[in-house]
Structure 1
Amino acid sequence: MEDLMTYEDDDGIVRLLPGYKFDPTDEVLVDFYLKRRVFGQPLPFEIIPDFDVFQIEPWGLPGGDGKIFNQRKCFFHNIGGRDLESLDIRVAGSGEWRATKKGKNVHIHQNNEVVGKKNTLHFWEVQGSCARRTEWMMHEFRLASIANPSKVTKWAVYRIFQNKDLKKVTNSNKYNQDSYNDVEG
């Protein structure tokens, strides 16, 4: 079935054919895709690439078209070797991802078992001591330990997308200095 739904482009990126949409629920991302990745089990097809989402701005991520994503993009990344000063603010390219909601449980619907944790982050463009919130958002999913659901793995799956509601506000203030907030360092 995977050969009928995907193809590899000139850059070696696996893409879905027109008419197919990859938009899994939080539960499926954690309990199926991330769990298989963490335990080294094969995935049905390689639709989620390994990529360090913190090395560049979100509009430069693979599979994007400049500053526009046609749909949500997902990436696997192991932050085990990365020295993060803070899990609330993570530098990425010329900006930073800031956590807005942390530690929401991801449950399996059948038995209400906690399988993971979900954090929501927004991307801020930083210029000197000023920062402006963009329309870019990220959901970070980590697999929770069965013995202790508050502990999570170093592997994560990231869902990155543009929030259309924020885009309208951001574009109306694009060149307005008031849209920048002082960052206290």
Structure 2
Amino acid sequence: MDPYSSFLLENEDSEVPLGFRFRPSDVELMEYYLLRKIKGEQLASNFIKDLNVYQYDPPQLPLSQFKNAIKNEGYFFTMVKRKKFLNDNTTRTTPNGYWKAYNENIPMYGAKGIIGFKDKYSFYDGKDPNGDKTDWKMIEYRCNPSLVPAASTSGTENYIVCKVMHKKKTEEGETVLEGNVEDENM
């Protein structure tokens, strides 16, 4: 079995009715998935997989295996360490490239105020800073640390959700998710 197929077999029988897709809002990702994962609580579904996305280049990620998600889109729980370079943008490296932030620390608001933050990334093939920009995009979601009880933070404060998408340019220059209109939140 290949290195990332084994995690797909865990509880993959979670089904949604025909025509429905797993497309949580930012608030839903934070409150119903990430915060509960950090606290060690039971999750409502297994649609977000545990995988260190930075161990793989984006084409190696099993996006086609997310049968209940939008085509060419997948969600992953992973742990991160902040790494800063001269321009102070966050960069995440992979075996053959890097994710470079283009919009960071965007606050997300829920009923309790700021519930978390999101950072937007583009993927570049090659070594930083001379890589070639690709059609791959990612959004990292992280919880507001003040919402995580101190007893729950034994290293889990670096737990995030990554939404990875493969976007393509049309002949007219418009960006679209393959088979779908562009995500309004990008």
Does the 8 Å CA contact 2:136/2:164 hold for their aligned counterparts? yes
Does the 8 Å CA contact 2:7/2:50 hold for their aligned counterparts? no
Aligned equivalents of 2:171, 2:77: Cα separation in 1: 26
1:85 shift after superposition: 5.5
Report the aligned-residue RMSD: 3.3
Task: State the percentage of identical aligned residues.
Answer: 22
Equivalences for 1:31-70 in 2 at 5 Å? Answer: 31-64=31-64, 70=71
1:90 aligns to 2:92 (yes or no)? yes
1:164 shift after superposition: 3.4
Aligned equivalents of 1:22, 1:130: Cα separation in 2: 35
Does the 8 Å CA contact 2:63/2:74 hold for their aligned counterparts? yes
1:161 aligns to 2:165 (yes or no)? yes
* Higher alpha-carbon Rg: 1
What's the CA shift string for 1:2-24, capped at 9, x where partnerless? xxxxxxx9951627565331010
Aligned equivalents of 2:144, 2:77: Cα separation in 1: 16
Mark the CA change 1:166 to 1:52 in structure 2 (over 3 Å): closer, same or farther.
Answer: farther
Structure 1 length-normalised TM: 0.69
Mark the CA change 1:120 to 1:55 in structure 2 (over 3 Å): closer, same or farther.
Answer: same
Aligned equivalents of 2:7, 2:22: Cα separation in 1: 20
What's the CA shift string for 1:84-132, capped at 9, x where partnerless? 4656111112110000000000111xx3610001000000011697411
Runs of at least 5 residues in structure 2 that lack an aligned partner in the other structure: 1-5, 149-155, 174-186
Runs of at least 5 residues in structure 1 that lack an aligned partner in the other structure: 1-8, 170-185
Kindly tell me the number of residue pairs found equivalent between the two proteins.
152
Q: 1:102 aligns with which of 101, 104, 124?
A: 104
Aligned equivalents of 1:161, 1:167: Cα separation in 2: 19
Residue matched to 1:12: 9
Does the 8 Å CA contact 1:115/1:143 hold for their aligned counterparts? yes
Which amino acid counterpart does residue 12 of structure 1 have in structure 2?
L
Structure 2 length-normalised TM: 0.69
Aligned equivalents of 2:171, 2:94: Cα separation in 1: 20
Aligned equivalents of 2:43, 2:147: Cα separation in 1: 25
